[in-house]
Amino acid sequence: MPDYMFLLESRLSPEQRAAMLRVQELAAVLGFNVYLTGGTVRDLITGANLRDLDFTVEGNPSKMARELEKGGAKVLSEDEKLRQVELLFAGDVEGSISAARDEHYVRPGTRPEIRWSTIMEDLRRRDFSLNAIAISLNPASRGLLLDPTNGLSDIEHGEVRALSIHSFTNQPVRLLRALRLAARMGFKLESRTQEWFNLAIERELQLTITPEDAGEEVRSLSREERPQLILKEWEEGDLLELVHPILAKKHPGYDAINRLIKVRDDLYMAGFRPRLATPMLLAIFGRLKDRELSNTLSKLGYRSAEIEAIEKFPEKAMEIQKELAGKKTKTPIDAYRYIEKIPMEYVAYLLAESSNSAALSKLKAFLHKWRPVRQALPIVATELEALGMPRGPKFDQIVQDVFAIQLNGRAKTLEERVKILRKLSGIKEPPKKKEKEKKPAKAEKHVETAAEKKAAAVEKHATHERHKAGMKAAAAKHKAKK
């Protein structure tokens, strides 16, 4: 059996690891058993991006939420009836903590009765086997995999398998979920699941999906990496109607989605991982008129503040575009300072949708030229230090001045930079030894000063770092191509 704890620790970001340790710690203090569950474990096993951390505790997570809030985490939503909390941990880590529960259906398709339960019962009431795996985070069994419905084997076979014959009857929204998961992962429905699926469609259970449930699916869709694959599946299965008849009639904005995905891949390569739910939603519903969009979102259970923010998004992007084409961002350094403060989702939206060449060229320069220069700025600081300048406000100012000069395409070589650094700092070159003092006959050997030695070492390090960055970029490009 692979060591899941090792896998987990090597796959989590440092911020995610810190969040997990905090949850583990709190659960131990309260005496609750705690597990990683759901999408987190699935994505961990399949090697997919770990977007969020889903925890399940055998107990009520509300106390944990209060403690986490004290430590700076933000509670995004809390469902007291379901004992479920959505959180944003420090470092922008998304996650949820839910109480382990069983769902008892008196008759298939009725509202289930909820009973607080053990982790095993909780796993068995889930939708698909690949979502019903847990990893223990408890001291005595840390890293142990709990897989009561054999989800691991379904993952190996590339299949989405529903856990009961009543699965779709009990929750028709699982029809959308099944297709979404299968399309996302490149899996197929397991044969019996496919039969149950077809039977449900024959009985028109899809028409009983509540708009709120469909809305949750749309929210998830807008966070997907490749929503176009899912939309195509929904469209083929005549399920798009359920999201909204107008969307089915006018079709999703596939071109806009593809443009945004291309931009997102470009942003990944430049080292950004923006959340693109709003621009993606706008791309998906791009063919709807403003009024149609707000009506659709409202029907799907989006809150009015959310709808307003979505509707205003393009306007705000146009304001940014105007600034980028205007005088205030004329010089590269002014443009850089402006762009670094714009939320990345607007950058992505403009790169995908704008046709303003002035704005576009600045955004592209920011990502591919200016940011790499900014990232190499610590090297300039070391070079300045090597010349003998003590760190402090004046030192920082000089580094910033060099940055502005570099954005204009100058100070690329060490020699040029040292010259500029000397000029800005007023540190003179050490006096050269007079020719005649040198011993005549012997081969000329240049004796490096301490500052030169340090500068040479710094340049060597910088070259190495640039080489590493180049390799990383090439690897990312290679991966993205794959």
**Which positions lie near Mg ion, rule CB under 5 A?**
39, 52, 54
> With respect to Mg ion, which residue has the nearer C-beta, 55 or 370?
55
> With respect to ligand ATP, which residue has the nearer C-beta, 88 or 451?
88
Report yes or no: 128 and 163 within 8 Å, Cβ to Cβ: yes
**Burial zone of 377 (CB within 10 Å; 0-12 exposed, 13-18 middle, 19+ buried):** middle
- Please, what is the Cα angle at 464 between 458 and 470, to 5 degrees? 135
What is the C-alpha separation between 426 and 339, in angstroms, rounded? 32
> With respect to ligand ATP, which residue has the nearer C-beta, 190 or 353?
190
Q: How far is the CB of 423 from Mg ion (least distance, A)?
A: 55
Q: How far is the CB of 51 from ligand ATP (least distance, A)?
A: 6
> In terms of Cα–Cα distance, which of 185, 187, 176, 188 is closest to 226?
185
> With respect to ligand ATP, which residue has the nearer C-beta, 102 or 334?
102
What is the C-alpha separation between 103 and 392, in angstroms, rounded? 62
Contacted by 220, from Mg ion, ligand ATP, none: CB < 5 to 8 Å by type: ligand ATP
CA–chain centroid gap for 52, Å, is: 9
> Where along the sequence are the contacts to ligand ATP (CB under 6 A)?
38-39, 51-52, 54, 126-127, 131-132, 171, 173-174, 220
Placement of tokens 């191509």 in the chain? 481
Report yes or no: 125 and 101 within 8 Å, Cβ to Cβ: yes
Contacts of 140 (CB under 8 A, 6+ apart): none
Report yes or no: 242 and 208 within 8 Å, Cβ to Cβ: no
Report DSSP state, residue 265. H
> With respect to ligand ATP, which residue has the nearer C-beta, 52 or 459?
52
Contacted by 379, from Mg ion, ligand ATP, none: CB < 5 to 8 Å by type: none
Q: How far is the CB of 112 from ligand ATP (least distance, A)?
A: 10
Strand, helix or coil at 53? strand
Q: How far is the CB of 105 from ligand ATP (least distance, A)?
A: 12
> With respect to ligand ATP, which residue has the nearer C-beta, 40 or 354?
40
Q: How far is the CB of 131 from ligand ATP (least distance, A)?
A: 3
What is the C-alpha separation between 151 and 30, in angstroms, rounded? 30
What is the C-alpha separation between 20 and 41, in angstroms, rounded? 13
Contacted by 171, from Mg ion, ligand ATP, none: CB < 5 to 8 Å by type: ligand ATP
What is the C-alpha separation between 30 and 97, in angstroms, rounded? 14
> With respect to ligand ATP, which residue has the nearer C-beta, 39 or 215?
39
What is the C-alpha separation between 23 and 55, in angstroms, rounded? 8
> With respect to ligand ATP, which residue has the nearer C-beta, 181 or 420?
181
Residue 344: other Cβ atoms inside 10 A: 16
Contacted by 126, from ligand ATP, Mg ion, none: CB < 5 to 8 Å by type: ligand ATP
Q: How far is the CB of 203 from ligand ATP (least distance, A)?
A: 18
- Quick one: tokens of 35? 């597990």
Q: How far is the CB of 6 from ligand ATP (least distance, A)?
A: 22
Q: How far is the CB of 318 from Mg ion (least distance, A)?
A: 34
Contacted by 218, from Mg ion, ligand ATP, none: CB < 5 to 8 Å by type: none
